[in-house]
Amino acid sequence: SLSPLHRANALEEQLKEQELRADQTLLEEIKKQRELLSKMEREKSIEIENLQARLQQLDDENSELRSCVPCLKANIERLE
């Protein structure tokens, strides 16, 4: 049977290993969360770019339609 000192040493070693494993798990989790966060930021950034492009497109279409208004009004008056 193990002497109390050997038992204490064995338990101490076990504790150290568990602490190391816990630290590794924590570091892996932090890394995973960071990667997830930067993925979400990239996706958000792409979405913003797409929305800005769509806004520009709608703005251009709006300008085009506005420029047609005087011509259409003139046509209506002529037809009346």
Per-residue pLDDT of 28-39, as tens digits, reads 999 999 999 999
Q: Is the dihedral of CA 54, 60, 62, 65 positive or negative?
A: negative
- Residue 1 pLDDT > 90, yes or no? no
pTM: 0.62
pLDDT in tens, 10-33: 999 999 999 999 999 999 999 999
